[in-house]
Structure 1
Amino acid sequence: MRGNVVDLAVAVVIGAAFTNIVNSVVKGLINPLVGAIGTKDLDHYSSCLKDPCVVNADGSVKSGVPIMWGSVAGATLSFVITAAVVYFLMVLPMAKYLARQEARRKEREGTHEVIEVTELAVLKEIRDTLIAQRTAGHDMR
C-alpha cells in the first residue's frame, strides 16, 4: 500500500511540473503562431453576447458580455497535449512492459494446458476398452 501512495505522489509532482511546461509551450509557441496566422494570439479571441463589449486595460469588463473562447481553446489545447504526452510516453510503454513481463512469466511457468476430462468421457473410454477386449476374446476362440 505504501508503494502505491509513493508512486501516486511522484506522479502528481511530475504531472504538475509537466503541466507548467505544456502551458509555457502553448503560450510561448502556439499562441504566437496563431497570432502570426490570425490577427491576435489565442488568449485575445472573444465574442460578444451583448453589444457593445468594452473591456478595460486591466481586464475588467466596462460594458457588454464578452465570451473569452480563445482562452478556453488554449486550455483545451494544453490538456490535449498533456494527455497525448502522458499516454504515449508513460501509459503505452508501461502497458507494453507489463505485457512482456506477463509473457515471460507464462513462458517460465511452462503453461501446460490441462485437459479437463469429464466423468462421461472416462466411462465411454472404459466401455470402448471393454468392448474391444470382449471382441478380441471372441476372435481367439
Structure 2
Amino acid sequence: MFKGFKEFILRGNVIDLAVAVVIGAAFTAVVNAIVAAIVNPVIALFWQPDANGEIGFTVNGLWGPVTFPVSDLINALIAFLAVAIVVYFVFVMPMNRWKERQAAKAGAGTDEEEPLPTEQELLAQIRDLLASQAPPTRS
C-alpha cells in the first residue's frame, strides 16, 4: 500500500501540480490586490457606489433599489485572465517547448519508416511466393 503511494507521490506530475497550485494561490492574492487598488477606482470613475459600497447598475425593485455588482464580476474576470495568462506563459508554454525538444532529440537519429504494406499487397506477395515454391505442373 505504501509502495504504491510512494510511487504516486514521487511522480513528476504530482510535484508539478502541487507547485502550480501553490504559485497560483499566491499569484491570485497579488492579482486581487492589483484589482482592488487599480481596477476598482477606475470602475468607480464611471459608476457611483451605492450605500453598501457596491459599484454597478441600480434598478428599482418592488422593495427598493437593487444594485447589480458589476465590479465583482469585472474583478473576477480580470483575476481569472491574469492567473490563466501567467500559468500559460510560466508553466504550459515552457513545458510544451521542453516536450518538443525531448521528442526531437529522441527522433533525431531515426529516419522516417516506410508505411506498412496493405492487406492486399501482403496477400499478393504470399500468392507469388506460393506460386514460386510450387512444383511445375505437367501439361
Normalised to the residue count of structure 2, the TM-score between the two structures is 0.64
1:36-83 deviation per Cα after TM superposition (whole angstroms, max 9, x unaligned): 4x2558952242251675xxxxxxxxxx43321221221122112211
Gaps of 5+ in 2: 1-7, 130-139
1:20 lines up with 2:23 in the alignment:
no
Q: Report matched runs for 1:11-90 at 5 Å.
A: 11-36=20-45, 38-40=46-48, 44-50=55-61, 53=64, 64-90=65-91
The one-letter code of the counterpart of 1:106 is G
The one-letter code of the counterpart of 1:114 is E
1:2-40 deviation per Cα after TM superposition (whole angstroms, max 9, x unaligned): 12322222211111001001111111122223334x255
Matched residue, 1:9? 18
Aligned with 1:114: secondary structure? coil
Find the structure with the greater CA-based Rg: 1
Normalised to the residue count of structure 1, the TM-score between the two structures is 0.63
The one-letter code of the counterpart of 1:113 is E
Q: Report matched runs for 1:110-121 at 5 Å.
A: 110-117=110-117, 118-120=121-123
1:97-133 deviation per Cα after TM superposition (whole angstroms, max 9, x unaligned): 212211221113x13413434324536887xxxxxxx
The root-mean-square deviation of aligned C-alpha atoms, in Å, is 3.2
Share of identical aligned residues, percent? 32
CA 31–107 in structure 1, closer or farther in 2 if over 3 Å, else same: same
The one-letter code of the counterpart of 1:111 is D
Gaps of 5+ in 1: 54-63, 127-141
Contact 1:45 1:68 in 2 (8 A): yes
CA 48–113 in structure 1, closer or farther in 2 if over 3 Å, else same: same
